Structure 1
C-alpha cells in the first residue's frame, strides 16, 4: 500500500478510484459498538470537551469524552436530560468509579494509561468484569506492547496518541500498525490526535481507524458548523476513492507518497474565497 518507512498525514494522498457514488449518497455513519453508532466518525477529545460541548456533539449524532474533572454522575445526567438517546463518554482513572458512571448513563468509558502497566491491566479486567457491554477505550497509547496487553485484558478500542500531547510521528503508518494489532483481538483503533483538516479524517480512516478524536487543532466555537465541514470533506474524499461507506474506505483505500510541493498543490490555492471556512487555515 505504501513504501517502507513511516509516513505522516502530510506525506500521503489517497489514490483515486473509479467511482459511481455521489457525495450526498455516501454513508458516513460508524458503528463503534453494538449500542454505539455515530452519525459521523468524529469524537470530541477529553482535552477539548466541556459539558456544553458534549451536548453539542451529541446533538450532531457524534460523541464527546468528558475529562476526568467533569466526568461526574451529575454531568452525565445533564447530557442525558437533553435527550436520553444522546451519546456521551467519560474518562475513568481506575475501576472504582466506572460502575457509577455507567449507571448514570455513560455510553463509553476511556481509561487513562499510567506508567504502571500491571495496574492498567488490572483496571481493564475489573471494569470489563462488571461492565461487559459498555465499550472500554484505553489511551492515549503510543506503544504497541502496552496496546497488546490492554487488548488481551479486554480493552475494546485503543486511542492512538502520545500521552504528553505532542504530535505522533508517522501518523499513517502508526495507525496502520495499531489497527493490524487490534484486529487480532477483534478490537478497534481511534486516532486520538493530529487531526487538523477534514482530509486528515479521511486518511486516518483509510489507514484503519474507526474514528478520530478532534480538539481545538481543528474545532472552533460552533460545533455544528465544524462537523458540517468535516462531513462534507469526508464525503468528498470517500467519493474520490469510490467508497460508499466507511467500512469500504477502510478496506480498499490506498495511499501514494507525496512531496511537500505536492501537499501544497493538494490544498486550495489561487482562488478567491467568498466566505472563510470555520476551521481552515493554510498549512
Structure 2
C-alpha cells in the first residue's frame, strides 16, 4: 500500500501560466484507447451507476461503469437499445463474465481486484487473449505492486482508489506515482474516488490521470446538469494553466503546496450566491462555492 506521506487535493494549487486560450475553445475530450474517446474525462463510478444513469452518462458522450450486480447481458442491451453508439462499462470478477458482457456490447471492462493476485493476473491474461483490443481496467487499488503486475499482464488502465471506499488522503502524490508506473507499460491511470469539486478534476488530470470517476460526492439530480458544471470548472482550470487540451494539461501543469489558510484564501469569498450549483445542495454553507483551482 502507499504510505501516508504525500499530498492531497486540498494541499496543492495549480501554478498559473501565461495563457492565450479561452475557456470556450478548450478541448476537454480525452482518448482512453484507440476506439474509446470521451467528450469529457469524467466517468460514472460503479458505486453510483444504475442503468438509467449509465444511459445519462452515455448521452453526454462519456460512460459509466455498471456495478457487478447490474452488469448483465440484459442491462448492457438496454443501454445499447437507446443508441448502438452509446458507451457503457461493466464491473466483473472473472474472465468468463467479462467475455459474455463484451459479446453483449460492453465497451469497457473493469476487473475487480481481489485478495488472490495470481487469479487476478490469470483473468487479465484470459480476457486479453480473447479480446486483445478491449479496454481492460483493473481496480480499485492503491497497491503499486498489484498495479505493476496487472499492467505487465495486459491491463490498460488502473483505477486508483481505496478498495474499501475510504477517502484517499494523498490523492495527488498517489496519482503521480501510479501515472509514472503506468507510463512504463504504455498504460493509463483513472482516479476512482475523492472527486468533490470540479477543481478536483483539474488537479487529478494535472497529476497524470486520464480521467476521473464521480459518485454521489459530486453528482446529484440530472447527470447532464452536473457534467455541465464540471465541464465549466474544467475549462476554467485548464485556461488558468494555459492548457488548450487535456493532454497538454497532463504534460505541463505544475503544483505548488499550500497551507490550510492558503486554501481558504484561494476560494472566492464575499460573494453572494444567486443560485446553488446542482451538486452542492447537501453541503454546508461554508463549501457552496465551486473551487476552480
TM-score in terms of structure 1 length: 0.97
SS at match of 1:69: helix
The 1-side partners of 2:168 and 2:34 are apart by 30
Summarize the alignment of residues 149-160 of structure 1 with structure 2, pairs less than 5 Å apart: 149-160=149-160
For residue 169 of structure 1, report the CA deviation from its aligned partner.
2.4
* CA deviations over 1:74-98 (Å, ceiling 9, x no partner): 1001101111110000001101111
Give me the whole-angstrom Cα distance separating, in 2, the residues matched to 1:229 and 1:267. Answer: 17
**Partner of 1:96: helix, strand, or coil?**
helix
Q: In the alignment, which residue of structure 2 is the partner of 1:177?
A: 177
Structure 1 residue 266: deviation in Å?
1.8
Question: Secondary structure at 1:279's aligned position in 2?
Answer: helix
Question: How many angstroms apart in 2 are the aligned matches of 1:102 and 1:274?
Answer: 46
SS state of the match for residue 140, structure 2?
Answer: strand
Structure 2 runs not aligned, ≥5 long: 288-293
Secondary structure, in 3 states, of the residue corresponding to 2:172? Answer: helix
Deviations 1:29-85 (A, max 9, x none): 000011110000000000000000000000001110000000001100110111111
The answer as to 2:166 corresponding to 1:166 is: yes
The answer to whether residue 69 in structure 2 is matched with residue 69 in structure 1 is yes
CA–CA distance in structure 1, aligned partners of residues 262 and 76 of structure 2: 45
* Aligned 1:90-169 pairs, distance under 5 A: 90-169=90-169
**Between Structure 1 and Structure 2, how many residues are aligned?**
279
Give me the whole-angstrom Cα distance separating, in 1, the residues matched to 2:99 and 2:143.
28
Alpha-carbon distance between aligned partners in 2 of 1:267 and 1:205, rounded to the nearest angstrom: 20
Question: How far did 1:279 drift?
Answer: 1.1
Separation of aligned partners in 2, 1:217 and 1:97: 29
1:257 maps to 257
Structure 1 match to 2:21:
21
Instruction: Quote the Cα distance in structure 2 between the aligned partners of 1:61 and 1:44.
Output: 12
Alignment partners' CA distance in 1, 2:170 and 2:6: 5
Work out the CA distance in 1 between the residues paired with 2:183 and 2:165: 26
Aligned equivalents of 2:12 and 2:267: distance in 1? Answer: 13
RMSD of aligned alpha carbons: 0.8
Residue equivalent to 1:33: 33
Name the CA distance, whole Å, in 2 between partners of 1:39 and 1:170: 28
